């Protein structure tokens, strides 16, 4: 959809009429757009010379159809609406896309803004055109709770259409580019919102597809509308610098051209200027003033083949000294978007750093047009085919993300993470290269290899050394993942993974596991309620369950169990609804009241409260919390005192299984004289009592006495008593207590 439009037809003003001309008839049909006299339309037709006559005729028919559909509609600038689809189709034709794509570009807003149906487009222009237009149309028939939700769902629809046909995103990017070029007529707040969306989503997608020209222009236009004052100041500074440095740049250009000729290398050498947004971003990230950004100009050397790239690099390094650590070989290891070049930074005249890129003609086409070069240049067929394959793999990964994401907002978040432009290249033990975003960890690498490798990951070796899983990877690292058959993803991984794939897979696993554990807990809670009402769960007929499922809109009995376990439903309410539909057992006698028995090892469905850290032997009580399941507290926990009396229906009796078979964390405070070796003595006694020390800290400013804080692991209350007794016998210890959080 054109974001810079006003769908309502513009009314003619009285002032525009001739002095004595009759007033225009409001019921008269809108005047057709005089496209045959429009130079833009003629230029557009001239650009179609690569198509067959019958295809051009079909495009003319599509233009007439679109013009009639949009007739009377105007953009906010006052121009006829059809000028926008014409501009989009013209840009598509510059990439030499097929007639189907051009027709879809001409009609891309007809379904959304004029009421033309998909069936009508299919009948008139074929299924291919209709599918493309449908993929570009927003979901306007669905009510969304917020703009963010609508944006996320529309984005998901567009990306899924793009995964089926890449032409969808090419049309969408040209549509967005033209909207950004004509954004000046909109309100400042709307301009800023659209520009931010472009900067966060559409510019990175253009970069990911290798559409460098579109990427840079979208960035600069977004910068212009998000920070208009900064944009103008920086533009003036660049224009002034261009004049001041002209002599130096001319000297460098002549020097590079002469060196290439002397070395027998056929080359085109031309200067290039960094985009305003990239200069601004460098100033912000490195906290530099404009005068400190010296490399706003660079040079590009285009040669005939790959060996000439490396020969040219040697010639340049002989001409000017290279800056150490500033050489990058994207020919040997291309970027994920297919970009290939040699990058080097040289110390030029007057100590000015000069960035130079060396590439072949084919690489130059790929760098500028990316996937669009598949249609543009037949001589880049081999490279374009490789890029098409890489793009296809990326699109398939988007489909995988979509299948595991919980909702549109989560999918939106994962894709935004995956569009990071900065990359690191790491190697598997077998030498396979993996491209990951900057800041990626071994967990990201594990999920990039395979989902099962990620789910079973327990440790990682980086360059043959065992390293923490949260370590950041650097380009050139060799990474080996250590797995274990019974290992599972850790929720803490979500705090440091960088790729959308890893984040999506971890969330999906945890959500699935939580649902399974919650279903088991919910079944136990409901059975307890039914037993308390004198009903054996197995005796309930199917009709009772069917009636309850129909009332609650649930799909299965397991879904009801899961809702109970997650605290979304109360077991007592579900039990009574089941009995309300059960007439066969009216005289059932209530069974003696029973408690839910827990081990403490159930997983995510049952959680031990951090405020009181209950352990076996403590009298305990459980609270059903929505979305969390059963949270277990000690009976005397100060934190729950008020809520127990306020919501008694959410509290259930819980008791420990005789032998839970695991260790539980307990916080203890030890007050001791500040004597040499006291920490070692306390730690020794804790260890000899059969307890692990999970964490230890001490008062930051110890005096004559100091407080040592331990998190220790014990099997039960009796085990804790043995630990406390052993520590209390140390002569330096004055007091030892178990931590209890105050209300």
Closest CA to 579 of 547, 553, 606, 604: 547
Burial class (CB in 10 A: 0-12, 13-18, 19+), 708: buried
β-pair partners for 459: 482
Is residue 79 within 8 A of residue 102, CB to CB? The reply is: no
CA angle (53 as vertex; 50, 55 as ends), nearest 5 = 80
Q: What is the C-alpha to C-alpha distance for residues 628 and 604, in angstroms, rounded to an integer?
A: 8
Which of the residues 67, 109, 112, 220 is marked catalytic?
112
Contacts of 147 (CB under 8 A, 6+ apart): none
**DSSP string of 150-182?**
HHHHHHHHHHHHHHH-THHHHHHHHHHHHHHHT
602 is catalytic: no
Phi, psi (rounded to 5 degrees) for 229: -70, -45
Whole-number Cα distances in Å, 3 to 71, 131, 175, 243, 279: 18, 21, 9, 37, 28
Can you tell me whether residue 622 is helix, strand or coil? Answer: strand
55 is catalytic: no
Which of the residues 2, 113, 418, 618 is marked catalytic?
113
Is residue 489 within 8 A of residue 455, CB to CB? The reply is: yes
CA angle (437 as vertex; 435, 439 as ends), nearest 5 = 125
Q: What is the C-alpha to C-alpha distance for residues 373 and 97, in angstroms, rounded to an integer?
A: 10
Can you tell me whether residue 56 is helix, strand or coil? Answer: helix
Please identify which residue in the block is written with the tokens 């959308």.
500
Please identify which residue in the block is written with the tokens 């899924």.
160
Whole-number Cα distances in Å, 268 to 243, 262, 300, 607, 702: 23, 14, 8, 67, 72
Is residue 112 within 8 A of residue 137, CB to CB? The reply is: yes
- Residues designated catalytic: 112-113
């Amino acid at each position: 959809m054109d974001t810079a439009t006003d769908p309502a037809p513009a009314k003619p003003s009285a002032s525009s009429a001739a002095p004595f001309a009759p007033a225009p008839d409001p019921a008269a049909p809108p005047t057709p757009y005089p496209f045959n006299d429009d130079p833009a339309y003629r230029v557009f037709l001239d650009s179609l010379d690569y198509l067959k006559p019958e295809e051009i005729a079909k495009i003319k028919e599509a233009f007439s159809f679109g013009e009639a559909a949009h007739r009377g509609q105007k953009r906010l600038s006052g121009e006829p609406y059809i000028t926008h689809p014409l501009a989009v189709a013209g840009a598509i034709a510059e990439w030499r896309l097929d007639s189907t794509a051009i027709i879809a570009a001409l009609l891309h807003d007809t379904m959304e803004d004029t009421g033309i149906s998909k069936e009508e487009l299919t009948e008139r222009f074929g299924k291919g055109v209709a599918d493309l237009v449908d993929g570009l149309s927003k979901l306007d028939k669905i009510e969304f709770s917020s703009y963010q939700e609508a944006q996320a769902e529309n984005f998901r629809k567009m990306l899924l259409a793009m995964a089926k046909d890449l032409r969808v995103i090419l049309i969408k990017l040209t549509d967005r580019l033209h909207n950004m070029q004509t954004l000046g007529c909109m309100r400042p707040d709307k301009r800023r919102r659209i520009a931010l969306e472009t900067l966060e989503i559409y510019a990175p997608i253009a970069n990911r597809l290798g559409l460098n020209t579109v990427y840079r222009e979208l960035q600069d236009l977004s910068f212009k509308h998000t920070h208009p004052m900064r944009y103008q100041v920086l533009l003036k500074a660049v224009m002034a610098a261009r004049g001041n440095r002209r002599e130096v740049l001319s000297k460098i250009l002549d020097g590079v051209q002469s060196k290439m000729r002397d070395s027998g290398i056929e080359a085109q050498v031309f200067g290039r200027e960094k985009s305003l947004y990239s200069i601004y971003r460098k100033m912000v990230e490195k906290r530099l003033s404009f005068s400190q950004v010296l490399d706003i100009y660079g040079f590009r050397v285009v040669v005939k083949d790959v060996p000439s790239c490396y020969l040219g690099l040697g010639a340049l390094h002989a001409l000017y000294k290279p800056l150490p650590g500033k050489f990058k070989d994207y020919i040997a290891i291309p970027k994920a978007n297919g970009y290939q070049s040699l990058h080097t930074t040289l110390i030029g005249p007057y100590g000015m750093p000069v960035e130079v890129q060396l590439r072949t003609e084919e690489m130059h086409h790929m760098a500028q047009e990316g996937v669009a070069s598949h249609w543009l240049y037949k001589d880049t067929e081999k490279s374009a085919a490789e890029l098409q394959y890489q793009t296809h793999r990326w699109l398939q990964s988007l489909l995988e993300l979509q299948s595991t994401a919980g909702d549109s907002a989560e999918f939106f978040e994962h894709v935004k993470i995956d569009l990071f432009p900065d990359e690191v290249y790491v190697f598997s033990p077998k030498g396979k290269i993996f491209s990951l975003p900057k800041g990626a960890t071994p967990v990201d690498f594990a999920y990039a290899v395979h989902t099962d490798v990620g789910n079973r990951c327990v440790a990682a070796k980086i360059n043959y050394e065992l390293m923490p899983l949260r370590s950041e990877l650097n380009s050139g690292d060799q990474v080996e993942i250590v797995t274990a058959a019974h290992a599972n993803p850790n929720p803490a991984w979500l705090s440091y993974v960088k790729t959308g794939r890893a984040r999506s897979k971890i969330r999906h696993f945890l959500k699935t596991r939580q649902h399974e554990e919650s279903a088991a807990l919910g079944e136990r809670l409901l059975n307890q309620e039914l037993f308390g009402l004198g009903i054996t769960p197995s005796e309930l007929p199917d009709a009772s369950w069917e009636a309850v499922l129909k009332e609650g809109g649930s799909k299965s009995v397991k879904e009801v169990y899961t809702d109970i376990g997650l605290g979304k439903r109360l077991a007592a309410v579900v039990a009574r609804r089941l009995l309300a539909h059960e007439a066969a057992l009216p005289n059932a006698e209530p069974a003696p009241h029973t408690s839910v028995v827990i081990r403490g090892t159930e997983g995510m469905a049952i959680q031990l409260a951090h405020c009181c850290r209950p352990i076996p032997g403590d009298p305990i009580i459980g609270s059903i919390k929505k979305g969390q399941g059963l949270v277990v507290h000690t009976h005397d926990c100060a934190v729950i005192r008020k809520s127990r009396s306020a919501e008694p229906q959410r509290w259930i009796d819980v008791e420990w299984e005789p032998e839970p078979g695991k260790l539980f964390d307990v916080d203890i405070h030890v007050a001791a004289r500040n004597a040499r070796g006291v920490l070692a003595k306390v730690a020794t006694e804790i260890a000899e009592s059969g307890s692990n020390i999970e964490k230890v800290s001490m008062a930051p400013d110890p005096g004559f006495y100091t407080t040592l804080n331990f998190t220790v692991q014990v099997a039960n209350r009796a085990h804790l008593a043995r630990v406390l007794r052993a520590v209390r016998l140390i002569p330096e210890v004055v007091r030892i207590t178990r931590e209890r959080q105050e209300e």
